[in-house]
Every structure is written in structure tokens, then in C-alpha cells.
Amino acid sequence: MLVLWLLSVGLICLADRVVDPEMRYLRLPENQSCIYNCDGVIKCKGHIPKCDSIIKHYNLATDDNDANKEFRELLLFGHNGLRNRLAAKLNLCDMLEIKWNNKLALYASRHHSFCHKSIMCDSELDSNVNLQQSRPRDKRQISHMVNMSRNSFFYSNTYSTAFIPFALSNWYAAHVKLKFPKRIDVNNRTYYALAGQSNSFYNMVNPIIQTMGCSIAKFRDGRSLICYYYPFVSVNSEIYFRIMDKSYQCPYTYPIFDRIFKRICIKR
């Protein structure tokens, strides 16, 4: 009984969506020479590095009228499309729309300035997040609950014309490495619980994710894509998908379904 009660507390927090449209609780190191390492610890170079092995860096953190707008739109369309596919397959009702965030895109580009082609430890950045120890509906606790996840992909072909779709399909295909999510019932609601830390599929399909930002770089020996997602909340390294019932549609913060992606919840 205690386990179910603790889980219900965590799911209440998730149900409240931990909405942070102003990114007030996004914790990024301000120093541009600093990034999180694989353990979620900030590491700094002491100077802003420059990677000489990059032939071209595509700046995705700019205005809508720039030359890289097509890349941003393709990344958003691809992510929302794949999340919509999962929501339709599992009959989910809480998959939120992802929008672009320049702050995350600029942060992702730091990895390329460090000459990182990929991040071998792609995972949720803080494995110690535990909603069971946080009080629901207490805004003072939100900064300890909200985090982000990240994915990276390197393809050793500098001439690929379908690099982004290929990267996204590889991230999504990583679901075959995970166990099928288990069904659980909490407070008369039914969820799928998915365990999969350090898995690219797990990192990108968390229903609560609302924003993302990416960086693309062309190295001498291939192309690199690095993306960050925010917010990312888990309970004991599990993420939860609410199964739709007859009386429930989208969460109140994202109350309607998208016209194109009919299982993605959006704001009015």
C-alpha cells in the first residue's frame, strides 16, 4: 500500500505537468565553456573552445527567416510525428506538443564547440530525481523535480541528404532494446510504465517534454546531431504514459488535440 501511495504522489506531480513555459527551472551553466558531463556534473574548459575539425556548423538558434529554418521544422515535425505514432499505438492521452527553444539549441552547440561528435552517455542528466520524496503542488520543490534529457547521433557520411530522418529513426528504433511497458492502475487511472534510462527512445518520448533544441555540425568524417529536451521527469527511472479512457482527453494545460498529429496535445 505504501508503494502505491508513493507512486500516486509522483503521478499527481506528473499530472500537474510541471509546466514551465518561461524556462525558470531550466538549469544550464551560464559560462559558455561549461557543459554537464555524463554524471550531471558541470565541467568547464576555462575558455570558449573552438573545434577545428568542424567543416560547417548549422546555427539552429536564430530567427524564423534564417537559412536553417528548414532543419528546425524538420526536427520538430519528426519528433512530434514519432511521439504521435507512439500515442496512437498505445492509446495515450497525455503526449504534449514539443516546441523549439533557442536556449537549448545554443547549449547543444557547446558540445560541437568541444568537438563532441556524439555523447556516449546519452541519458537523463540527473538519475537521482525522485518525485516520491517531493511534496505535490509545492512550487518550491519544482527546481528539484525538473530536468532534461538529451540524444546524439553521428553518421560517418558527409554527403547524406536524409541525415535528420535517419537520426530520428535510429533514436526511435532503440525501443526494441527496452521491455514492453507494464500496465499499472493508480487512483482509478491506468498507465504504462516504461523503464529505459540511457536509451534514445526513452529520452525523446517522455509525455511531459514541451521544448527541445538541437545543434548540427558537419565534421570532416561525418555529420553530428545533438538534441536536448526539457522538462524531463521520471519516477525511479520510469516514465509514465496515461492510457485514454472514455471520460478523459488531453491534460487541462494542453486541452486539445493537434489537427495534424491527432494524438498530440496542444495549447489553445
Q: Is residue 246 part of a domain?
A: yes
Residue matched to cell numbers 516504461: 194
Cα gap 107→266, rounded to integer Å:
25
**Per-residue model confidence (pLDDT) at position 20:** 64
- Into how many domains does the chain fold? 1
Q: pLDDT tens digits for 153-181?
A: 999 987 877 999 999 999 999 999 999 99
Domain containing residue 190:
34-121+145-266
Q: Is residue 71 part of a domain?
A: yes
**Per-residue model confidence (pLDDT) at position 168:** 97
List the beta bridge partners of residue 224.
Answer: 154, 217
Q: Is residue 10 part of a domain?
A: no
**Identity of residue 129:** V
Contact 167, 122 (CB under 8 A): no
Q: Is residue 216 part of a domain?
A: yes
- What cell was used for 238? 520510469
Cα gap 19→169, rounded to integer Å:
28
Instruction: Output the domain CATH number for residue 62.
Output: 3.40.33.10
Q: Is residue 16 part of a domain?
A: no
Cα gap 167→151, rounded to integer Å:
10
Q: Is residue 9 part of a domain?
A: no
Q: Is residue 25 part of a domain?
A: no
Q: Which stretch of DSSP H or E encloses residue 81?
A: helix 69-90
Q: Which stretch of DSSP H or E encloses residue 265?
A: strand 265-266
**Per-residue model confidence (pLDDT) at position 3:** 46
- The segments of the chain whose pLDDT lies below 50 read 1-6, 9, 12-13, 15-17, 122-146
Q: Is residue 50 part of a domain?
A: yes
Cα gap 118→112, rounded to integer Å:
9
**Per-residue model confidence (pLDDT) at position 22:** 64
- For residue 238, which of 6, 78, 81, 58 has the smallest C-alpha distance? 6
**Per-residue model confidence (pLDDT) at position 187:** 84
DSSP state of 216: E
- For residue 111, which of 236, 259, 227 has the smallest C-alpha distance? 227
